[in-house]
Structure 1
């Protein structure tokens, strides 16, 4: 039967139609609220613990099957924004949730419900904390999680339903869905999106419509009868756990239970979708999707400048490599910062955090160290691509548990203790071992992407044939494949020509994803042409867009336009920012652009925008400060504000208003503008210039409230 629940939005929770339960839970909630300050110190009184236990209304030890209802330990947001939007560190958030769970979970609850989350990063912290505390206490209870969507189907920080599906499934949540903020009619359109993507049960807990004020009281516009009608439709869309949030009461739940009395929930079907995610959107791998482009340039191998940047802790240079690849069509960014003389773990965590602060692209965590891999996966905001595991038993034992715990799609190399097989048959034997071993850890094939290994044709002219045969065999068996395609041309002149041809052959053989250089003109041309000729480009739209940009870029290259000066200025500013941060490297900034089949939300600069405007729009604090220092040598401070800072913030504001930019990007742009303002203020103080006072304005908001974010912007 459909479970029904009443969550904390209306100050009491009812999991059955029994009115008596409402009063008991009211008492428990009241005592819990009084105890909030003591929870901070990990102390609860005996009376408060008794209130938690009393919610069961049954003697301790009675089997759950004999209880008239189930009790969930319900927890909401911690009330602080996590970095980079706020000042709360991810691990501190996990610790806050753990302290609460350690108090409540031993009290005999049947489940954990993490609800009313509007930030997927905080939701991850809470679910991770719940799972880890359950492990500490030896408890085998389900963990549910629900988030809050706006009328456009987005969290406050930008995630859509498909993104939250990927993240919660990856973390091992037992059920997930949405609650609060919307009424049942407004939630209904999002339910099919959840059930289509999810391989776990879906929860739907709407409010009793939308609130309004009458005579100083908050009332809701949906009756209990209409609520039950819509919930019946929602059940028909595949939702499995139904309930109510703000404005609902026992009557709403009772009517919903009665309406669904004779209906049984259908088994949840396995969707077999290979999906990775950032904090805003998903990228689907394999199936009928075009091959995914993974930018390879955040990697020190064979890159002198990149190695210098790692040694100098030059994060701005590393981030610039990611942003340039995003501009040129990368859909995922590979992140490899392995260098013997640096602290790889510290650098990986820093680079992942800085990249996610300014780019919405999913990341591929690329490391051979399980310790580094865990540190990155734990802090990654989304569901990552993990590079890599292989057929060696020691490596599988180290990597598969991390993928199971934190979620991810793992790249699996066809190499084991015996080396790399020369034939496709030998590599396919390793593929079977990888699939079978992953299954022992509870990892399905949808979360494995096979790398048949592209070897240099200059050292073995038969190697590419074996690689392509393996790609085709895995594809025909329903699996996904990935290749680092540039390896094939190592040691040859005019490498791009060979790499692009091999890339085309691999795509024709069924390649699911490629680790490649998106800045390569030959690679972009090969990808655009292959997609349009293989049915991955409806009405040739992406190819036409690519061709237009390609033609425009060729025209730019043959003229001495102002764009050349802009790029030169951008290089100078990036170099200044790099030096200011302790770095020594000037990035190679490209103005080229190519079409991609999947677009990430991003801050977009207007045509002809200045380097400073681009830095603010992108949320690059060091570059914004450096650009302002450069401009202020010749420009009037007020002109910089009016002609540079305000227009850039207008672009970001319009993007936020039209849902093309989300809160994380908005806040990073605001911080970049603040860095520029700081330079201007410092200049005015140094030169003794005084502006005319126009009085004082005080903006007062509740600390931590959503409006506090706007005030700080």
Structure 2
């Protein structure tokens, strides 16, 4: 299937996908805990019969049962050496079932390993893992690919790039969102679709986690910014336990009615996930026969994103500030730190610029004495972790920019593309491939334009080349190219005319570097701020500036106010009435550590900076602090605050993990130094495991880390752990708590078995359960003592069950 054929199919009306595979195979005899792919190959007719039923029910596209057929997943079952055979045979089965009446999609999903810097798996390793699986499916002639049940935007990007670098088949991507309408890693629906459609995904949407009703808001949010079809593949309601079987509570007709509402919200590719059967798809086919999907918008979105936040750019909206500070030029302290491989100043600059009003962070690592590419990648990884502002990748080298764009889980801005030799030819395709916006710098091989007309011609030339490769005007931000007024008395007029021309004649955004206008003149801030007000009047979209300069920032807010831009009055009032709080440090008693939020150790935990936390702990010890005081008065309050930020959705999984790792590093250093009588008695012992048949452990691993940080003795049994081993270990360790995790509806029933066995054996251990598919009602139903929705919740419940006071 070509991408053009896919678009024609989408334009023909609503497209029906298939329903669940795993839950239906279990009903037809597949045991919990086996490798599904291997079991299918040993029971081929069962899969073929199921998929034939889907085709007869109206499915236009079947998902080949290659869901966990990547090398990492198969290694869990000792089957990695059979990866080619299994993927090829599984595609063959679906092709046979389709019988030419439906398309077959090669199915990809998460590996279960976390990407660097949260884990050890690099982005390129992940791309190669996906490419390997994709190559085998291509051998058997899959029609398209689907990347489904994704929780990480980075992993979505890796899978999308893997497909696009091997073939030109269509790619559909669907993510799974929690009740807060964000993925596990904090990505919202709009951000997800903006990033993936800009990189060339042919359809984007949502699957699993919820029934149709709970999915409506997600689809609606995507539809507002979508320029590709939206996928909706909900579960048949919520899982319920009937006896020893997990069932879903939504019948076929009710399900079909719910999915019809999703079509009304904007979905045009629909099917079913967990609990849905051929009957659900048939009912869906029947109810949608006369329904037409909403039209797919051709209005391109002008926006940048991080992994967790979208910044929409409005030509008539408020001025946006690109923070310029993370650049070593003229900054000796930063240069020296970068040569040492440290990023403390970079991190501080990122935080301070956001606090002072920056909307975007420009990242430039061009200096002597370091590997620019290596350092830029290191900084990008750090920014992904600590900041939710979109990034502007700034380098003179196209390969450096490409490597940074490749790993960045958002939609970045390239700084910049000009008519200098080879630059446009190299960078415009890179912008297209990675879905980036770019700054157009109106400079040619001969240097600066001699006059305003030459400047306009350069701008037109680059715009036309961008449009030829499929980029749009919404992807372009033109640099007004500010010259110094001291050398060219018309410099301000020429820049202002460039801004007007770009906005009014070309319909593209603009940006300026303000400081050039005043070069060589005294009291430059007055010239800069006045010029900025003029530029805003002409329609300037962005300015590269230092957001800590109050005069400049206040001028921008005042100009927006005078231009009657939306909410400018409140922004101005909040800006000029805010006071910078000055915190002074008093000399501390050498025998204690004051519990204060500006302590550098506290700050390192909050910011997740584990690189220098041991040095900070050593300094505090040398000043006379006791190890126990550092733990009680700094580390524990800091991790509590991280938990609060997580609860408020200010922090998400990456920050939570980073902060927990920083605290762990500090505690591991301090524990051997605790004096006799100072060493803490463990709060309680907890046996924790992902239940039998489930090989997902990202959430469980975070819970382990947090529990240890709070002083619990944790016995981590890993993933896919048998009930017998859980019970035996709880007995042996005289555990106070058993904590169980499950991500899949097909394995959650095992939790009931553990609860039942624990009661039969008379264990004293209380049981806490959690995981993506688990609910409070399920915990009540199976008799668990507590349900934890996340790591922070686990701490609270464990303390409550053990009567531990904060």
TM-score, reference length from structure 1:
0.86
Q: For residues 438 and 345 of structure 1, what CA distance do their matches in structure 2 show? A: 25
Q: CA deviation at 1:51?
A: 4.1
- Aligned partner (choices 585, 592, 604) of residue 565 of structure 1: 585
Provide structure 2 residue ranges, at least 5 long, that are not aligned to the other structure.
1-12, 26-46, 589-594, 691-695, 707-806
Q: Distance in 2 between matches of 1:117 and 1:419?
A: 47
Alignment partner, residue 612 of structure 1:
601
**Mapping of 1:71-90 within 5 angstroms?**
71-90=104-123
Alignment of 1:97-108 (within 5 A): 97-108=130-141
Structure 1 28/339 Cα, relative in aligned 2: closer, same or farther at 3 Å?
closer
Q: 1:69 Cα shift?
A: 0.6
Question: Does structure 1 residue 115 correspond to structure 2 residue 124?
Answer: no
- Secondary structure of 2:173's match? strand
SS in 2 for 1:116: strand
- Counterpart of 2:80 (choices 40, 45, 48) is 40
Contact 2:68 2:111 in 1 (8 A): no
| Pairing 1:322–2:350 present | yes
Structure-2 change in CA distance of 1:523 and 1:623 (3 Å): farther
Where does residue 553 of structure 2 map in the other structure? 524
Q: Is the 8 A contact 2:58 2:281 kept in 1?
A: no
Offset at 1:416?
A: 1.4
**Comparing 423-432 and 144-153, the one that deviates more:** 423-432
Matches of 1:683 and 1:32 in 2, distance apart?
47
Instruction: Select which of 703, 707, 732 maps to 1:710.
Output: 703
Correspondent of 1:67 among 100, 117, 130: 100
Q: In 1, Cα distance between the equivalents of 2:655 and 2:246?
A: 34
Q: Is the 8 A contact 1:42 1:100 kept in 2?
A: no
- C-alpha separation between the residues in 1 aligned to 2:70 and 2:341? 46
CA displacement at 1:424 relative to structure 2: 2.9
Report how far residue 655 of structure 1 moved: 1.6
Change (3 A) 1:307 1:50: closer
Equivalent in the alignment of 2:36: none
Please give the secondary structure, in 1, of the residue aligned with 2:96: coil
Task: Judge conservation of contact 1:701–1:707 (CA < 8 Å) in 2.
Answer: yes
Residue 632 of structure 2 aligns with which residue? 642
CA-to-partner distance for each residue in 1:195-218, whole Å, 9 max, x for gaps? 110111111111111112121211
With over 3 angstroms needed to count, the CA separation of the structure-2 counterparts of 1:626 and 1:543, relative to structure 1, is farther
Give the structure 1 partner of residue 804 of structure 2: none
Could you tell which deviates more after superposition, 619-628 or 664-673?
619-628
Q: Does 1:294 align with 2:322?
A: yes
| Equivalent residues of 2:62, 2:103 under 8 A apart | no
Aligned match of 1:671: 661
506 and 110 in structure 1: CA distance in 2 versus 1, 3 angstrom threshold: same
Shift of 1:504: 1.7
For residues 278 and 33 of structure 1, the distance between their equivalents in structure 2, rounded to whole angstroms, comes to 28
The reply to whether residue 169 of structure 1 matches residue 197 of structure 2 is yes
Matched, 1:397 2:425: yes
Whether 1:626 and 2:619 are equivalent positions in the alignment is no
Report the counterpart of residue 365 of structure 1 in structure 2.
393
* 2:215 aligned partner: 187
1:36 and 1:434 map into 2 onto residues whose CA distance is 47
Quick one: distance in 1 between partners of 2:455 and 2:206?
A: 43
2:613 and 2:222 map into 1 onto residues whose CA distance is 40
Q: Distance in 1 between matches of 2:683 and 2:227?
A: 58
Equivalence for 2:778: none
Kindly tell me: are residues 307 and 457 of structure 1, through their superposed partners in 2, closer, same or farther at Cα, counting changes over 3 Å? farther
Match of 1:467 among 495, 507, 511: 495
Report the secondary structure of 2:704's partner residue. Answer: helix
Stretch moving more, 499-508 or 157-166 = 499-508
d(CA) in 2 for partners of 1:421, 1:264: 52
- Give the secondary structure class of the aligned counterpart of 2:370: coil
| 2:110 is the alignment partner of 1:57 | no
Whether the 8 Å CA contact 1:15–1:69 is kept in 2: the answer is no
1:541 CA drift (Å): 2.1
Match of 1:438 among 466, 472, 488: 466
Specify the SS of the correspondent of 1:461: coil
CA contact (8 A) 2:67 2:108 kept: no
- Secondary structure of the 2:702 match is helix
Question: Cα offset for 1:689?
Answer: 7.5
- Higher normalized contact order (CA 8 Å, seq sep 6+, divided by chain length): 1
Distance 1:458 1:395 in 2: 30
Distance 2:577 2:672 in 1: 44
Answer whether contact 2:671 2:679 (CA < 8 A) is retained. Answer: no
Q: Write the mapping of 1:193-592 to structure 2, written as runs, cut at 5 A.
A: 193-392=221-420, 394-477=422-505, 478-538=507-567, 540-549=569-578, 552-553=579-580, 563-565=583-585
Q: What secondary structure, in the 3-state scheme, does the structure 2 residue paired with 1:71 have?
A: strand
CA contact (8 A) 2:439 2:479 kept: yes
- The alpha carbon displacement at 1:257 in A equals 1.2
SS in 2 for 1:431: helix
Q: Which residue of 1 aligns with 2:688?
A: 700
Q: Measure, in 1, the Cα distance between the counterparts of 2:79 and 2:332.
A: 52
Distance in 2 of aligned mates of 1:508 and 1:49: 61
Alpha-carbon distance in 2 for matches of 1:291, 1:625: 41
Give the SS at the match of 2:95: coil
Q: Measured at CA, do residues 303 and 112 of structure 1 come closer, stay the same or move farther in structure 2, by a change above 3 Å? A: same
Contact 1:403 1:410 in 2 (8 A): yes
Give the CA deviation at 1:399. 0.2
Relative to structure 1, the CA distance from residue 9 to residue 323 in structure 2 (aligned partners, 3 Å threshold; closer, same or farther) is: farther
SS in 2 for 1:481: strand
Secondary structure in structure 2 of the residue aligned to 1:228: helix
SS of 1:389's partner is strand
Q: CA RMSD in A?
A: 2.8
3-state SS of paired residue (1:84): coil
Aligned equivalents of 1:71, 1:609: Cα separation in 2: 57
Distance 1:9 1:385, change over 3 A: farther
Equivalences, count? 652
Listed as ranges, the gaps of 5+ residues in structure 1 are 60-65, 135-139, 570-605
- Give a deviation string over 1:273-320, Cα, whole Å, max 9, x none: 211111101111233431211110111223333333333333222222
Check 1:674–1:705 CA distance in 2 against 1; reply closer, same or farther (3 A cut): closer
Report the CA distance between 1:30 and its aligned residue: 10
Task: Give the 3 Å change call, closer, same or farther, for CA 307–26 of structure 1 in structure 2.
Answer: closer
- Aligned partners of 1:42 and 1:103 also within 8 Å: no
